[in-house]
């Protein structure tokens, strides 16, 4: 099993996101691993979540060590009405990273899903309070078709199902963090719109 432990991911990072890198084998939720006093760009990663959530309170399920479960702390200097745009910004960044690493062609389903061939491969959860946003990203990476949740609104898939082989998660996580940083910086400075 490949790993998202710091020594596997840190050497691949090419930006400021992930400079602070919290890692757990098992956590209730990566969203809760980031403290209020963390710097922007701090990252929390878990191999398994016991209480992972998606949009509208739905569960986000992933077998241990097969997905990418990451949260990133942001402190955007923008007006509150713009904050919901971050789901689209993140979705676009995740889609770009997946395309870059795998050669697949993901699409974004408004407001927070990334699809391949109409099937959900990733989801975004943005939670904001007191000037900070914790952006949760879940990617189905190496699940088999049988390991994907059966009862979902949008039928699921994984990158390994689409590629016909497993992928190395660490380079994909590094690519997601870099694309997210670039898209976020462009959005926050007003030089690019969402998505």
As for how many domains the chain has, the answer is 1
pLDDT bin (cut points 50, 70, 90) of residue 179 is very high
Is residue 80 one of the residues assigned to a domain?
yes
Provide the b/e sequence for 38-65 (b: ≥16 CB within 10 Å).
bebbbbbbbbbbeebbbeeeeebbbeee
Report how far residue 195's alpha carbon sits from residue 153's, in angstroms, rounded to the nearest whole number.
22
Contacts of 108 (CB under 8 A, 6+ apart): 88, 91, 92, 95, 114, 115, 195
**Would you give the DSSP letter of residue 36?**
T
Residues 51-108: tens digit of each pLDDT: 755 554 556 667 789 999 999 999 999 988 899 999 999 999 999 999 999 999 999 9
CATH of the domain at 63: 3.30.930.10
Is residue 56 one of the residues assigned to a domain?
yes
Is residue 94 one of the residues assigned to a domain?
yes
Residue 125: give the domain boundaries: 6-188
For residue 117, pLDDT beyond 90: yes
Q: Pick from 64, 63, 73, 60: which is nearest to 21 by CA? A: 73
For residue 156, pLDDT beyond 60: yes
Is residue 1 one of the residues assigned to a domain?
no
Report how far residue 162's alpha carbon sits from residue 112's, in angstroms, rounded to the nearest whole number.
20
Is residue 17 one of the residues assigned to a domain?
yes
Q: Can you tell me the mean pLDDT for 118-131?
A: 92
Please state, for a pLDDT cut of 90, what percent of the chain lies above it.
73
């Amino acid at each position: 099993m490949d790993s998202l432990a710091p020594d596997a991911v840190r050497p691949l990072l090419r930006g400021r996101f992930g400079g602070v890198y919290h890692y757990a084998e098992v956590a209730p939720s990566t969203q809760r691993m980031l403290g209020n006093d963390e710097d922007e760009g701090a990252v929390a990663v878990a191999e398994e979540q016991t209480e992972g959530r998606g949009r509208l309170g739905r569960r986000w399920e992933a077998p241990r060590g097969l997905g990418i479960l990451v949260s990133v702390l942001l402190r955007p200097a923008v007006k509150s009405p713009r904050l919901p745009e971050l789901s689209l910004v993140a979705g676009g960044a995740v889609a770009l990273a997946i395309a870059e690493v795998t050669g697949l062609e993901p699409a974004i389903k408004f407001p927070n899903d990334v699809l391949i061939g109409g099937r959900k491969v990733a989801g975004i959860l943005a939670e904001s309070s007191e000037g900070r946003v914790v952006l949760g990203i879940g990617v189905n990476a190496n699940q088999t078709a049988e390991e994907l949740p059966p009862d979902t609104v949008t039928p699921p898939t994984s990158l390994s199902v689409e590629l016909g082989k497993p992928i190395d998660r660490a380079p994909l996580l590094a690519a997601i963090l870099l694309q997210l940083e670039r898209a976020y910086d462009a959005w926050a400075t007003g030089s690019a719109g969402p998505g």
